[in-house]
Structure 1
Amino acid sequence: MSGSEGEERKEGKMNELKDGVIENEREQESVVMDTSAGNPSNLLDLLSADATKQLWEKLVLCHEIAVDENFCLSPRNILTGRDDMEHDVLNNTFWEIFEGELVKEPPVYICALYLLDVTKKVLLSFLMTEGCHDAASRPIASQIHRELDPDWLALQATNGALDLLSVGKVIIMTMASLCAPVRDKEVKELTTISQPLPLLRGICGVLSLMKADLNNFFIDIVRPHLQIDGSYEQDKLLALLASQNAELPATLAWLLVARSSLSPSGFPESSGAQEAADKSPGSSKGAEGCILRPNIVLAEAFLLLLKWSNRDMKLPETLILDVKRISALRAEVRRLSLMAAIFLVVAGDSGRCSNEGSGKPEVHLGEPERRESAAPLLPSLLSLVEQSLKTVGTSSCKEAECIEKAVEGVLALLNERRLSQSCPALPHTLAASLRGQIIDLSCPTNPVTALVESRLLGYIRTPLLTSPPRRLPPLPPALNSIASALPPLLSHFLRLCDHNRRVCGQQYARLLTQILTLP
Structure 2
Amino acid sequence: MRRMPKESNESSKEEQIKIDKDGMEVAGDLTEQSEEMIGKRIRRHTPSPHRLTPQSSPPRFVSVEELMETAKGVTNMALAHEIVMNSAFQVKAYEPKEGSLEKRVKEIMHKAFWDCLESQLTGDPPSYTHAVILVGDIKETLLSFLLPGQSRLRGQIEEALDLSLIKQEAENGALDISKVAQFIIDMMGTVCAPCRDEDVKQLREITDIVPLFKSIFAVLDKMKFDMANFAVSSLRPHLLQQSVEYERKKFQEFLEKQPNALDFTKKWLQDTADIVTGIEGEGGAACSPNSAQLPRTVHNHAYLRLLKWDHDAESFPETFLMDQSRFQEMQQELEQLALVATVLLIVYNSAGEAISGLPGLMERLKKTIKILLAEMYTPSFKADDTFAAIGEKLCLELKGCLSQHGFSPFSADRESTLKGQIVAVKSADNPIRKVIDSRIQSYLLGFLESSFHKSAPALPGGLAPISKELEEIAVKLGRLVTFNKLVYSPFYQKILQDILKQGESVDV
TM-score, scaled to structure 1: 0.77
Name the SS of the counterpart of 1:29 in structure 2.
strand
> How far 1:471 sits from its partner (Å)?
5.7
Residue in structure 2 matched with residue 33 of structure 1 by the alignment: 33
Q: What letter matches 1:407 in structure 2?
A: G
Alignment of 1:232-247 (within 5 A): 232-245=246-259, 247=261
Q: Choose from 159, 164, 189 the match for 1:146.
A: 159
Alignment of 1:59-98 (within 5 A): 59-75=77-93, 85=103, 88=107, 90-98=109-117
Residue in structure 2 matched with residue 58 of structure 1 by the alignment: 76
> How far 1:345 sits from its partner (Å)?
0.7
Residue in structure 2 matched with residue 359 of structure 1 by the alignment: none
1:117–1:475 CA distance, 2 compared to 1 (3 A): same
Residue in structure 1 matched with residue 446 of structure 2 by the alignment: 462
> How far 1:127 sits from its partner (Å)?
1.6
Once residues 469 and 392 of structure 2 are traced to their aligned partners in structure 1, the CA distance between those partners, rounded to angstroms, is 24
Say if 1:263 and 1:287, in contact at 8 Å, map to a contact too: yes
Residue in structure 1 matched with residue 323 of structure 2 by the alignment: 322
Offset from partner CA, 1:37-88 (integer Å, 9 cap, x none): xx956457799955444434322321221111111123569xxxxxx94655
1:350–1:374 CA distance, 2 compared to 1 (3 A): farther
In the alignment, structure 1 residue 264 sits paired with structure 2 residue 246: no
> How far 1:493 sits from its partner (Å)?
1.8
> How far 1:181 sits from its partner (Å)?
3.0
> How far 1:290 sits from its partner (Å)?
3.6
Say if 2:23 and 2:94, in contact at 8 Å, map to a contact too: no
> How far 1:307 sits from its partner (Å)?
1.4
Once residues 404 and 188 of structure 1 are traced to their aligned partners in structure 2, the CA distance between those partners, rounded to angstroms, is 55
Offset from partner CA, 1:264-313 (integer Å, 9 cap, x none): 2999999xxx9xxxxxxxxxx94565445433322211111111221342
Q: What letter matches 1:264 in structure 2?
A: G
Q: Choose from 222, 227, 240 the match for 1:209.
A: 222
Say if 1:403 and 1:442, in contact at 8 Å, map to a contact too: yes
Q: Choose from 84, 94, 101 the match for 2:120.
A: 101
| Percent identical residues | 26
Q: Choose from 140, 147, 150 the match for 1:121.
A: 140
TM-score, scaled to structure 2: 0.78
Give 5+ residue unaligned stretches, structure 2. 1-10, 47-61, 96-101, 504-508
Give the root-mean-square deviation of aligned CA atoms: 3.8
Number of aligned residue pairs: 461
Name the SS of the counterpart of 2:76 in structure 1.
helix
In the alignment, structure 1 residue 410 sits paired with structure 2 residue 409: no
1:27–1:483 CA distance, 2 compared to 1 (3 A): same
> How far 1:175 sits from its partner (Å)?
1.9
1:23–1:185 CA distance, 2 compared to 1 (3 A): closer
1:305–1:41 CA distance, 2 compared to 1 (3 A): same
Residue in structure 1 matched with residue 491 of structure 2 by the alignment: 507
Alignment of 1:46-445 (within 5 A): 50-75=68-93, 85=103, 88=107, 90-128=109-147, 133-134=148-149, 137-230=150-243, 231-245=245-259, 247-264=261-278, 286=287, 289-351=290-352, 372=356, 377-393=361-377, 397-420=381-404, 426-445=410-429
Once residues 132 and 438 of structure 2 are traced to their aligned partners in structure 1, the CA distance between those partners, rounded to angstroms, is 66
> How far 1:510 sits from its partner (Å)?
3.2
Say if 1:340 and 1:481, in contact at 8 Å, map to a contact too: yes
1:192–1:393 CA distance, 2 compared to 1 (3 A): closer
Once residues 469 and 217 of structure 1 are traced to their aligned partners in structure 2, the CA distance between those partners, rounded to angstroms, is 39
Greater mean alpha carbon deviation, residues 114-123 or residues 178-187: 178-187
1:504–1:210 CA distance, 2 compared to 1 (3 A): same
Q: What letter matches 1:327 in structure 2?
A: Q
Name the SS of the counterpart of 1:476 in structure 2.
coil
> How far 1:197 sits from its partner (Å)?
1.5
Once residues 76 and 218 of structure 2 are traced to their aligned partners in structure 1, the CA distance between those partners, rounded to angstroms, is 27
Name the SS of the counterpart of 2:375 in structure 1.
coil
Name the SS of the counterpart of 1:445 in structure 2.
coil
Residue in structure 1 matched with residue 7 of structure 2 by the alignment: none
